[in-house]
Structure 1
Amino acid sequence: MELQLESLKYQDLAIQSVVKLFEGTEKNTFDNACFEGIRSNYSKLTIDEVETNLKNILVENGILEDVARLSQDKDICIEMETGTGKTLVYIKTIYELFKHYGFTKFIILVPSVAIRQNIIGTFKAFNKQLEDIYGFIPNAFEYDSKKLQKVTQFIEDQHPQVMIMTLASFNSEDKILNQAQREDLFNNIPFIEAIGKCNPIIIMDEPQEGMDTENSIKQIAKLNPLFKIRYSATHKVVKNLLYRLTPYDSYKDGLVKKIEVLTVTEKNDEATLKIELSDIQFGKGDPKVKLKAWHLNNSTNKIDFKVTGWLSQNDNLGIKTNNPSYLNYTIANINKSLKTGKWTVKFSNGTEILEKQIAGSLENIWALQIEWLIHRHFTKSQKLESKGIKCLSLVFIDRVSNYMGETPIIKNLFVDKYKAIYPEYNGGKLPPTEHIQSIQGYYFAQKASGEFADNEGGVKEQSKIYELILKGKEELLTLSNPVQFVFSHSALGVGWDNPNVFNIATLNNSYSEIKKRQEIGRGLRICVNQDGKRVYDALDVSDDDRINQLTVIPNETYETFVTQYQEEIKSIYGTENAGAGMTHTHKGVAVDEVKFKRNPSAEMDKAFRKYWTALARKTEYTISFKEEDLVTQASELISKITIPDFVIEAFSFLINAITEDGKEDSFQGSENVKQKSFFTPLDLIEELSENTGVSYTTLFKIMQRLTNLNEMVKNPPRFVHEASAIIRNVELDEMIRGLDYQITGESYPFNFDDFVKNISSKGYVETPNKGVFDKMLVDSDVERNFSLDADTDAEVVCFLKLPSFYKISTPIGNYEPDFGLIMKRKNIRNGNENEFYFVIETKGTNDINDKKALTESEVYKIRCAMKHFEKLGLEVQYKAPVKEYNYFKTEANKTINTII
């Protein structure tokens, strides 16, 4: 098979963006670009001329200068989403730069062997087709310190030279390129200095992978580049961003596969009391560990399985996680075994956690992930084979030993599941043993000792490159080649991909160790058929007929998967609304210095000062409630608790499309597999007391009235958590019932002068008509819309976003309401105009009982505020929660009508 070269508009734009940067450059020849036997890249362009070119390109590409982060450094960034062909883009850019300007010296810097091999393979795959277009083939070679004659050729030759090398080739003074005392120097100078005289154009592939460290910057500077061109989907350092193809654009325009997320995760598994050894710190002082365990968050009423901070001997896990279920888990010893060389953590109750130990039911999760992977693989294979497309599936595993070791759990699970599923798709026939072996391929780093490494660090000692996986992309794509499932650890996490990867499963000790964008990126490319041609779907293709669909099978919830993906997008773009399935702001968000000016109206000032006098009065509160009421209500509510079964759940969402309003996904179905709960019985009363602060005596009274203790047996930690939440809520209800505010006689000062704030255009709205200030700070679309509507209401005298120093004390923390507003209304009885004062709390709902839109703390603070404003009297009316201005107006009218 020969992969076919295509002319794609978005790739051509990226290429021409770089070419145009050098507009005005005199074409390099032997006469102007050779000196002392060295052929170099030569350009007379000044910094100002380059900057002019750059700004013109930014205008063409629709990128704001603030987003581009203009710099006079000789760096430019090209941002292209994973799977859209950036390797081919910069290879074609090399051809174009020679064609237009005669530049001959190029260095491609890579962070890993996988990426280096991918580049070499891409050159080989497209050499002939590119020669037909451009009339030449550059001398592209992999740097080898044992073959310095190739470096000499690079320095001297007038034919285009491309040297592909890792940072490790020259990142320390003892490397051969840096050595000044050698017999084979180039004209008596170190090779690194001679290369620097070539003024190479350096192409940095995935520069965020270690190319911006202090040492790397220093070493790269020795190469004296004419320019550095950074190519990545996830730039960490951005300078002169010349071209951007975001995840949003790629997904919207059908440049990558659509994504289905089929998640497999434990549900209602708090009863397992899982503990995992996450990290170890040793050296000076006693060893410390980080453990992954169930944490209770009282404010959000959630249980999360997450990593603790550093723990030492005698630390109590129950205290550290705020989870009373772990109160019997005090660290007794942290030790490294002389026999196994592995760390262990022993607890006072006899429990022992081993380093890299598999959590209790993780094997069951892996089995279900593999089962769904094989089902998806067979379904897609049968559909795709008739179109001449081979289906490949990629499996990321937690440790190499689980596939290659003495007890290869994952390999055994795969074989068992494949044997069980194969007959379903093959007329009831069983698969031959040799067939099962032949369909598996793998790529792991291997040390000189023969031991397989869990990461690519082993490559530094000695690597075993699996030709088919790393180099033989075309062969792997042929239907005649038996390999269909590829297993790897982190070595294929970056830099390797294959257009016909249609399924990816991540089997990990915990949530995916591989970043989501890397994980998805291995299979985002548009697929190819047996002729090496890309096969596209129509933009309006139905789900049943779609070919380019990537199924990702992680061992976590869909929400967790998407949240982590959004966080990665946010760390790069500053917003989660830029990725596949998320909304997108193409030109970024500029932050400016914005001045907020007081409205000069004397009438408004007079009304506002009078309003503030009424509003600014401070209060303090007292609380009282009865124990019997707490016992009665808590026992009645706790008796209604039902505990769900502990299961492993698999369910699928297809991300159908992306719009400016957000992602559109569709639920594809789900299945549950029941699991057994394993737990250590703990004292229920003690746990409830730890969680609620209620005395043992009161809790005994509550427990004696419960009618559903059978639910507690199903999953004690879950029961304790839900019961604790109920007791805390009842406490708060009783607290508010017995809450009373008193006016203190103190007031907040009148302090409303013009001010300046650094803020984006999305952080405020213009309020020139009725605003106390000409602009209003806003935190949400709800606040934005409210401000715009209030500013155009003829009955509004003035309004403002209340300052952060205006606080109302509550038993659960200070509360800051949103808006203050004055309305005027004519009294139909006497014709006089009256002013009415309001405070408004805007939320995403008009219903205080809407638990989806409001957190418990928000509800309780609103209820406390109601009592505060009641104490202030009818002078200031409080409206909360409010979603739309029209709703507020309706409620305000009701209030006004009762007053007048």
Structure 2
Amino acid sequence: MELKLELLEYQETAIKSIVNVFDGNDKNTFDNACIDGIRSNICTLSNEQLAENIKTILLENGIDEKIAELKDERELTIEMETGTGKTLVYIKSIYEMFKHYGFTKFIILVPSVAIRQGVLNTLSIFEEQLEEIYGFTPKAFEYSSKRLNKVTNFVEEQHPQIMVMTLASFNSEDKILNQAKREDLFANIPFIEAIGRTNPIIIMDEPQEGMDTSNSIKQIAKLNPLFKIRYSATHKVAKNKTYRLTPYDSYKQGLVKKIEVLTVTEKNDEATLKLELSETKNGKNPIQAKIKAWHQLSSGKIEFKDSKWLKDGDNLGKVTNNPSYLKYTISRINKSLRTGKWSVSFHNGVEIFEKQASGNVQSIWALQLEWLILRHFTKKQKLKEKGIKCLSLIFIDKVANYVSDDPIIKNLFIEKYKEIYPEFHDNVAPTTEHIEMIQGSYFAKTTKNEFTDNETSMRKNSEVFDAILKDKKGLLSFGDSISNKIEFIFSHSALGVGWDNPNIFNIATLSNSFSEIKKRQEIGRGLRICVDTNGQRIYDQLSVSDDERINQLTVIPNETYETFVTQYQEEIREVYGTSGAGAGMTHTHRGEKQNEVEFKRSESDTINKAFKRFWNALAKKTNYTVAFDEATLIERSQKALNTIEIADYVAEVSSRTIGAITEEGIEDEFGGKENYKLKAHFSALDLVEEISENTGLSYNTTIEIIGETNHENFAKNPPQFIHQASSLIKNIELEEMIRGLNYHLTDETFPFEFNDFVKQVDGNQYRDTPNRGFYNRMLTDSDIERKFALGADLDDEVVCFMKLPAYYKIPTPIGNYNPDFGIVMKRKRLRDGKESEFYFVIETKGTNDINDKKALKESEIYKIECAVKHFATLGVEVQYKAPVKDYQYFKTEATKDINALIEEA
């Protein structure tokens, strides 16, 4: 089995968002980036130039500067929802940075062994495929204090190097990298200082996991990074955020699995002695606590709610008026010095802790496991037919409940598995050996005979470690190996961040406390799009029904849906400022579905007939040819390059004398400034090669263009000249492409596939269109679309309209294009009173101006210009309007066209 490397547009955008930060940088070579036997990364751009590049990228990616959190620091942030391939994105970014700029030293910094192993797996899995694309393979290795020769090679080698290391390997002074007195030092300096002289680019994978503490910042600074680049879905610290893929975007584009939250919670459990420590306070008075318990109200109703403030000696039975608690008298309210957690002890020996409930958790666990196994078998049957292996992940509260003399959770799992297995296997019972083989647990036995999921201990249990962490292909395949047999994976917390698997289809959280794992992290273990046994990702159509969907993740928490979603939305709000950026979820409570929205075709014969006539005109497919006029391209490029003005390549020396340091700040005196002209070293061949690579032009065409340009500007600062020249030429290429673009009709048409359908959507994702909509409701992606749909639905001159289906795609040289709306309008002719229909296709944007570069990306402008030619090829029946900000603007423009067409008739 080989996992296939895909070319995904959003990943390529994320990669460019890093690579283009260094646009204009001098390419590192042996001559300019090797000092005293150490090959370093050299950045020749000033902070001002880097800042300008970052702002250009933000404009292209549509990210507001406030959201980007711009900082005058050499750090970048890439925010990608879990499961969308951030590891592969930063690995490919490394390849691109060497290809474009000759950077050779990269450190991938990870917070845990689990994540490190995932990175090493990805490097290994895609090594050959990346070699085919780029023609080279970096030397990638795992840092080990026992193999310091690899660190020496990292420092000296000219070939690109990737060192993968955990924060723990150097985050204290006694670590080997920090030691100054050793016999095997590099050039008599600590290894960390030698690494620092290479100015590595540091990739920070999940930096929120401890990389921003004061000690970590100090230790990472010793590595003297050229740049730090942060990758995560849940950043706590963000600086210069150049790319952003939110959970909502990921869901909308079908880049991750859809989520079903199947809740298992206690109902009608008034008879259970459930208690929760909800709040404590420690002031001048004795320590007090509020305890949530069942209260007997005067009305006779039983209600689970907070008590009043309680202290030592208070009896819970009297406070709650509930005789069930009469044996619960508080003996002590205490905060543990070791754990920092509060607890309440009672005279009967019961002790409760903050964030922990003492209800009938075993019954809940049994139900969670029952529904997990049911979902697993139901999905397994459907998925196996498509060559997809189904995996389930179970988080447990403590290791002893799975591995001990009396493993409660393991026993419950075996009991439920034995009950459910025959239902799906012709009433045949599973063997003991089979039940043992299908379980994989990330736990190990320590030297003290205790069980743990500590990563160091886990390494000693290499068989399980390799199966779960290293053998991703085995977990995804059917066969006879240990990895092949595993279907259910049990973990405590070590797999809670960083680890994932594309074929995790079910996740259950078995705990007697409120989950310590963040909801986005918990969900993230199974969000990745699944793969089949050939390593091919299997996608669903965006319009697929829940019953037919393959990529559906079922999450089974032991809390209410409202609690789960509230916590998830709060995490989203912390990051994005609004809970609306989060993923839509399906709620199932013990198998019962809710929140379904039905989209029904209009029953109006007028609307249906009008739309069919419109579709007949619209459905013709086209293809295109592009003819370049090379002479015009060369002439325009020569003229453009001669407009470039490059400032002298200089060094600035300035003096400031500190006069005093006061509470208000530093007082200094300017002593003067001198500039010194410097000589740039760059060959004509380098110039041709760089521009040719950046623009895709042949060497001969490139030579002809630069042969007639002002070489004095090039000599002043070659990298800046190449940066500006490449940008100008690429714009000219695109303009010439549009000029030479011709569409022609094919024999094919888009099918008329419009039936009633049901989707799981939130209220802000659709607009009711009862009057003139082809469907009674319309899916919308933005507030602009919702307002446009409302305007069309209320316009008496509109016969019918709809959001064009996702499969209506117009081919363009820079990717397929899907317009927004199709509208049929009517108007009577004054001359004879006859009524005519007029057809329009609309692209809604945040502007009405095609030249508004702030509101439109370059790619959007060029796709619109291509679409103009496509619709012109269809004939005068279909009028194309783009960009359109609001319905009133469209109506004004449409009226002009209708009047002109009536006059012609």
Q: TM-score of the superposition, structure 2-length normalised?
A: 0.61
Q: 1:501·1:523 contact (CA, 8 Å) conserved in 2?
A: yes
Aligned match of 1:563 in 562, 566, 570? 566
Instruction: For 1:569, give the aligned amino acid.
Output: I
SS state of the match for residue 118, structure 1? helix
Matches within 5 A, 1:747-762: none
1:684 is matched with none
Structure 1 residue 64: Cα displacement: 0.3
1:8 is matched with 8
Structure 1 residue 581: Cα displacement: 1.6
Asked if 1:479 corresponds to 2:478, the answer is yes
Structure 1 residue 303: Cα displacement: 5.6
Asked if 1:151 corresponds to 2:151, the answer is yes
1:551 is matched with 554
2:108 is matched with 108
Structure 1 residue 455: Cα displacement: 5.9
1:493 is matched with 496
Residues in 1 aligned to 2:94 and 2:104: alpha-carbon distance in whole angstroms:
9
1:249 is matched with 249
Tell me whether 426-435 or 508-517 shows the greater mean CA deviation: 508-517
Describe the shift of the 1:113–1:405 C-alpha distance in structure 2 as closer, same or farther (beyond 3 A). same
Q: Deviations over 1:369-394 (max 9, x none)?
A: 11111111111111010100000011
Residues in 2 aligned to 1:157 and 1:308: alpha-carbon distance in whole angstroms:
68
Instruction: For 2:570, give the aligned amino acid.
Output: E
RMSD of Structure 2 on Structure 1 (CA): 3.7
Q: Number of aligned pairs?
A: 593
1:331 is matched with 330
1:432 is matched with 431
Q: Deviations over 1:844-887 (max 9, x none)?
A: xxxxxxxxxxxxxxxxxxxxxxxxxxxxxxxxxxxxxxxxxxxx
Q: 2:595·2:761 contact (CA, 8 Å) conserved in 1?
A: no
Structure 1 residue 330: Cα displacement: 3.4
Q: 2:274·2:357 contact (CA, 8 Å) conserved in 1?
A: no
Asked if 1:511 corresponds to 2:497, the answer is no
Describe the shift of the 1:471–1:231 C-alpha distance in structure 2 as closer, same or farther (beyond 3 A). same
Q: 2:278·2:306 contact (CA, 8 Å) conserved in 1?
A: no
Residues in 1 aligned to 2:221 and 2:185: alpha-carbon distance in whole angstroms:
20
Residues in 1 aligned to 2:199 and 2:387: alpha-carbon distance in whole angstroms:
46
Structure 1 residue 511: Cα displacement: 3.2
Q: 1:263·1:556 contact (CA, 8 Å) conserved in 2?
A: yes
SS state of the match for residue 396, structure 1? strand
Structure 1 residue 304: Cα displacement: 5.9
Residues in 2 aligned to 1:280 and 1:469: alpha-carbon distance in whole angstroms:
41
SS state of the match for residue 491, structure 1? coil
Q: Deviations over 1:746-786 (max 9, x none)?
A: xxxxxxxxxxxxxxxxxxxxxxxxxxxxxxxxxxx9xxxxx
SS state of the match for residue 155, structure 1? helix
Residues in 1 aligned to 2:288 and 2:249: alpha-carbon distance in whole angstroms:
43
1:381 is matched with 380
Q: Deviations over 1:773-807 (max 9, x none)?
A: xxxxxxxx9xxxxxxxxxxxxxxxxxxxxxxxxxx
2:680 is matched with none
2:834 is matched with none
Residues in 2 aligned to 1:79 and 1:154: alpha-carbon distance in whole angstroms:
29
Describe the shift of the 1:403–1:119 C-alpha distance in structure 2 as closer, same or farther (beyond 3 A). same
SS state of the match for residue 661, structure 1? helix
Describe the shift of the 1:487–1:227 C-alpha distance in structure 2 as closer, same or farther (beyond 3 A). same
Residues in 1 aligned to 2:80 and 2:545: alpha-carbon distance in whole angstroms:
27
Q: 1:256·1:526 contact (CA, 8 Å) conserved in 2?
A: yes
Q: 1:81·1:245 contact (CA, 8 Å) conserved in 2?
A: yes
Instruction: For 1:568, give the aligned amino acid.
Output: E
SS state of the match for residue 577, structure 1? helix
SS state of the match for residue 151, structure 2? helix
Structure 1 segments unaligned to the other structure (5+ residues): 584-647, 665-780, 782-900
Matches within 5 A, 1:22-61: 22-61=22-61
1:683 is matched with none
SS state of the match for residue 193, structure 2? helix
1:661 is matched with 764
2:401 is matched with 402
Residues in 1 aligned to 2:412 and 2:221: alpha-carbon distance in whole angstroms:
50
Structure 1 residue 573: Cα displacement: 1.5
Q: 2:275·2:292 contact (CA, 8 Å) conserved in 1?
A: yes
The percent of aligned pairs where both chains have the same amino acid is 65
Structure 1 residue 168: Cα displacement: 1.1
Structure 1 residue 205: Cα displacement: 0.4
Structure 1 residue 557: Cα displacement: 1.2
2:370 is matched with 371
SS state of the match for residue 546, structure 1? coil
1:118 is matched with 118
Residues in 1 aligned to 2:530 and 2:471: alpha-carbon distance in whole angstroms:
16
Structure 1 residue 649: Cα displacement: 6.4
Instruction: For 1:518, give the aligned amino acid.
Output: Q
Instruction: For 1:435, give the aligned amino acid.
Output: H
Asked if 1:578 corresponds to 2:615, the answer is no
Describe the shift of the 1:376–1:157 C-alpha distance in structure 2 as closer, same or farther (beyond 3 A). same
Q: 1:369·1:553 contact (CA, 8 Å) conserved in 2?
A: yes
Structure 1 residue 512: Cα displacement: 2.6
Q: TM-score of the superposition, structure 1-length normalised?
A: 0.61
1:643 is matched with none
Q: Deviations over 1:644-668 (max 9, x none)?
A: xxxx96655578555681599xxxx
Q: 2:259·2:585 contact (CA, 8 Å) conserved in 1?
A: no
1:393 is matched with 392
SS state of the match for residue 272, structure 1? coil
Matches within 5 A, 1:182-261: 182-261=182-261
2:411 is matched with 412
SS state of the match for residue 31, structure 1? helix
Residues in 2 aligned to 1:59 and 1:306: alpha-carbon distance in whole angstroms:
51
Q: Deviations over 1:264-314 (max 9, x none)?
A: 0001334423125799999xx99989786338899xx996678999x8644
Structure 1 residue 318: Cα displacement: 7.7
Q: 2:276·2:293 contact (CA, 8 Å) conserved in 1?
A: no
Q: 1:3·1:533 contact (CA, 8 Å) conserved in 2?
A: yes
Residues in 2 aligned to 1:565 and 1:305: alpha-carbon distance in whole angstroms:
23
Q: Deviations over 1:232-253 (max 9, x none)?
A: 0001111101000000000011
Tell me whether 373-382 or 311-320 shows the greater mean CA deviation: 311-320
Describe the shift of the 1:318–1:155 C-alpha distance in structure 2 as closer, same or farther (beyond 3 A). farther
Describe the shift of the 1:370–1:659 C-alpha distance in structure 2 as closer, same or farther (beyond 3 A). closer
Structure 1 residue 181: Cα displacement: 1.4
Structure 1 residue 462: Cα displacement: 9.7
Q: 1:576·1:582 contact (CA, 8 Å) conserved in 2?
A: no
Residues in 1 aligned to 2:5 and 2:335: alpha-carbon distance in whole angstroms:
55
1:88 is matched with 88
Instruction: For 1:476, give the aligned amino acid.
Output: L
Structure 2 segments unaligned to the other structure (5+ residues): 597-758, 768-785, 787-905
Instruction: For 2:443, give the aligned amino acid.
Output: F
SS state of the match for residue 174, structure 1? coil
2:466 is matched with 467
Q: Deviations over 1:456-485 (max 9, x none)?
A: 686799998611101101011002221111
Residues in 2 aligned to 1:308 and 1:497: alpha-carbon distance in whole angstroms:
44
